[in-house]
Structure 1
Amino acid sequence: MKTFLPQIERRIVVRPNQTFGILNYDMDNAYPQRMLELVSRSPTAKDCWNKRAKFIAGNGFEDATLGKQVINSKGLTMAKLLKAIATDKALFCGFGIHVNYNANCKIASVNYVKFEDIRMGDTDDAQTAGKFAVYNDWGRRTWKHIMRSKITFLDNYNPDAEVIKRQVIAAGGWSKYKGQLFYFNPEVDDYPLLEADSVWEDFETEAGIKTFNNREVTTGFLPSTMLFMQSRREEADNSTDNGRGGNTPSQLERDLSSFQGAKSAQKIIVIEYEDESSKPEFQPYAIQNNDKLFETTERSVEARIIKGFSVPKELVNAEKSSGLSNGSEKKEAIREFNDNTAPDRLELSETLESIFANYYSNINPAANWNIIPVPTNVADDAIGLKAGSAINQLLLSTLSPASKIATLVHAYGLKQSEAEAMVNPHNQ
């Protein structure tokens, strides 16, 4: 008897690219760019990314003066650097920081580098091994071809003075030295996957549903219809090309096209015909009820995306939670998500502490690199606004006092005495 184990296809394939001296980030070397595009088209994925980034960056540094420190000639502050690397870590699980040194081998400037712009050097290429390639268009969105002359190769981060001096000599002096790149990568010698890579297909699905809904609106929710009519060559000769890769539309086709769309609903179109045999026939054909199907699919896709990012659903769909009474569900979700993202905040603070230990000046005399978690009282604030507005509307309504008291007790969790005091304040 023979047995075999089914092979699970790898999400990304990392292969040497001898043309550029790098390791490709998937077959097309554009995995981060593709994922960014998919996330930007998926409302739920983008919301989850923003939520995760917000919780990793927290409320900034505990030492408020640290966040205001300027760390390069372009005016980048520590607070902005923290937000930028937290955003990349929330999606890609990694981030990049560029540093450059002065003649004393101390860090003189620190810059943020977009994670999607970084590629690892080919380990089999003596010139690029141990280096990182930085280029702003690996996905070829702007230019058709990648120009090696515009790729910047940076040495791997190593603050050892002797290492820096050797790198400066190899570069041809301080004026030509480009500095080093700190590349945070949980995979060490491999490229990391997206935080929610396991559900990236759902990003595409949600984007497709959005496109379908848009098409339904722009066509005025018209049912699918077939038009049967006799050929009329005096209107158009569709056997000839119009010079733009298509046939010239007839007047009838142009009229029918303008008849569709949300802004064209309820318009009247007049079609003339000479005899009964030439009368056009519009015949609708039955299709599956897409509304219910898409509604069910949208809910399941949204749930999987939220789960893929490990974001509590109460933080993404706060309006669907039942926590109008005291916000306890959202408060608990914030605590849970703070706990889940605590290791990320610790990694960021430890990384920044390590890098700036080699900075030319002491920008953090208090030596406090801790990041403040998102406070749970934001749930109280949000819930107070919603509940307060709803309660005011209830008190001003025409309902009987007994109904108002019952609603306050059962819907908003107030005590009987508190509800009575709010409805009948003059009786107290």
Structure 2
Amino acid sequence: MKTYLPQIERRILVRPNQTYGILNYDLDNAYPQRMLELVAGSPTAKDCWNKRTKFIAGNGLEEKDLGKQIINAKGLTIAKLLKALATDKALFTGFGIHINYNADFRITSVSYVKFEDIRMGDTDNAETADKFALYSDWGRKTWKNIMRSKVTFLDKYNPEPEVISEQVCKAGGWEHYKGQLFYFNPEVDDYPLIEADSVWEDFETEAGIKIFNNREVTTGFLPSTMLFMQSRREEAENTRPDADTYTGINIPTQLEKDLGAFQGAKSAQKIIVIEYEDESSKPEFKAYPIQNNDKLFETTERSVEARIIKGFSVPKELINAEKSSGLSNGSEKKQAILEFNDNTAADRLELSETLAEIFSRFYKDINPGKNWNIIPVTAIAADDNPGIKAGNAINELLQSTLPRESKIAALVYAYGFKQAEAEAMCL
């Protein structure tokens, strides 16, 4: 008996790009850009990203007023830098910081660099090895081709005075020196995957469900219908001066315009009148049965949402708080916050150590206490009064002598439960 083990392809392929002297971030060199688009189209993924960012950034730095310190000529503060780094760390698991020095080899400027704009230099290219390429449109959204003249190369972070002196000499002096890039990457000589790369297909699925629902609304939830009619006698007027230019493009007839206007959420209550001369020319509308998509999409949406939440390692209580039973006293959410604080503790520590490393070499002492710890998100008290009151009110409703239909209506319209959930609670 033969056995076959299917090979699992790598999620990204890193290949040298000799044209630009970089290592491609996947075959199209646009893996981060594609992931950003997918996350933007998925409400659950975007929510999970925001939650991870919030917990990694925490409630700011422990050292009071440290976040207000300005660290470059553009007015960037440490608090804004922390939030930007946490945002990239939450999704890409890495981040980038641009650093520049003065002649005393002290850091004078610290700037945030978007992680998706960074590409590693080709290690086999003597000119770009140990460098990073920065460009704002690797995904070619603005320009069809990458403009080599706008690709900026920065040296790898190394604060040793001898190294900086050598880099300055190669650049042609301090006035031409562009500084270094601190590139935090959890991988070794490779590009990292996003936090929830294992479920990025579900981002696309959820976005597709959203588009489907929008299409159903804009067509007024009309059933799929076929129109049978004789060859149209009323032809559209397609004679126009530029007919040669628009060959094959016909102006719709009045019937086609009326049918188009009849569809849509805003036209659901309109009446359409179709005239015909005899029975043989009477149009016939026939609905053709299709699979019931409502239940199918509802089940798919729930499973997709659950996988995305799991992929980001976010406790479901923090994403679906509004779907909780309402009978809880808040202990579940408090426990979820404590758990997620533990899960993101390593991320906060990495950010703290990075800030401590960089600003220990700053041209002025902005943190005499040397405390760069980040305050974790505060857990909600378990004895949340609004939660207790809501839970008690629902319990009283369920135990009352009101008819079952009244209880269900109250749970749906007053407390926001779904119909099926309300019915299950009133069994």
* TM-score, normalised with respect to structure 2: 0.88
Letter in 1 for 2:274: I
Residue 337 of structure 1 corresponds to 340
- SS of the equivalent of 2:65 reads helix
Residue 404 of structure 2 corresponds to none
Identical columns (%):
78
Larger deviation, residues 316-325 vs 199-208:
316-325
Matched residue pairs, number? Answer: 396
The answer (yes or no) to whether the contact 1:45–1:305 under 8 Å persists in 2 is yes
How far does residue 124 in structure 1 lie from its aligned partner after superposition?
1.5
How far does residue 4 in structure 1 lie from its aligned partner after superposition?
6.1
Residue 284 of structure 2 corresponds to 281
Residue 376 of structure 1 corresponds to 379
CA RMSD of aligned residues (A): 2.3
How far does residue 245 in structure 1 lie from its aligned partner after superposition?
6.3
C-alpha change, 1:278 and 1:323, in structure 2 (3 Å) is closer
The answer (yes or no) to whether the contact 1:353–1:369 under 8 Å persists in 2 is yes
Larger deviation, residues 241-250 vs 219-228:
241-250
The answer (yes or no) to whether the contact 2:326–2:387 under 8 Å persists in 1 is no
C-alpha change, 1:19 and 1:273, in structure 2 (3 Å) is same
How far does residue 326 in structure 1 lie from its aligned partner after superposition?
2.1
Distance 1:362 1:322 in 2: 51
The answer (yes or no) to whether the contact 1:235–1:251 under 8 Å persists in 2 is no
The answer (yes or no) to whether the contact 1:321–1:329 under 8 Å persists in 2 is no
Distance 2:247 2:165 in 1: 61
Distance 1:325 1:57 in 2: 28
Moved beyond 4 Å, runs of 4+: 1-5, 237-242, 386-396
The answer (yes or no) to whether the contact 1:238–1:247 under 8 Å persists in 2 is yes
- SS of the equivalent of 2:99 reads strand
- SS of the equivalent of 2:175 reads helix
How far does residue 6 in structure 1 lie from its aligned partner after superposition?
3.0
How far does residue 387 in structure 1 lie from its aligned partner after superposition?
4.2
Letter in 2 for 1:384: N
Residue 122 of structure 1 corresponds to 122
How far does residue 271 in structure 1 lie from its aligned partner after superposition?
0.7
Q: What does residue range 71-86 of structure 1 map to in structure 2 within 5 Å?
A: 71-86=71-86
C-alpha change, 1:333 and 1:106, in structure 2 (3 Å) is same
In the alignment, structure 2 segments of 5+ residues that lack a partner are 402-427
1:255 aligns with 2:258: yes
The answer (yes or no) to whether the contact 1:323–1:329 under 8 Å persists in 2 is no
Residue 30 of structure 2 corresponds to 30
How far does residue 295 in structure 1 lie from its aligned partner after superposition?
0.2
* TM-score, normalised with respect to structure 1: 0.88
How far does residue 65 in structure 1 lie from its aligned partner after superposition?
2.0
Residue 405 of structure 2 corresponds to none
The answer (yes or no) to whether the contact 2:329–2:387 under 8 Å persists in 1 is no
Residue 270 of structure 2 corresponds to 267
Distance 2:155 2:91 in 1: 25
Q: What does residue range 99-110 of structure 1 map to in structure 2 within 5 Å?
A: 99-110=99-110
In the alignment, structure 1 segments of 5+ residues that lack a partner are 401-428
Letter in 2 for 1:152: T
1:359 aligns with 2:324: no
- SS of the equivalent of 2:373 reads coil
- SS of the equivalent of 1:376 reads coil
Q: What does residue range 10-409 of structure 1 map to in structure 2 within 5 Å?
A: 10-232=10-232, 234-236=234-236, 243=246, 246-322=249-325, 324-377=327-380, 380=382, 383-388=384-389
How far does residue 385 in structure 1 lie from its aligned partner after superposition?
3.5
Distance 1:10 1:393 in 2: 51
How far does residue 262 in structure 1 lie from its aligned partner after superposition?
0.1
How far does residue 356 in structure 1 lie from its aligned partner after superposition?
1.1
How far does residue 347 in structure 1 lie from its aligned partner after superposition?
0.6
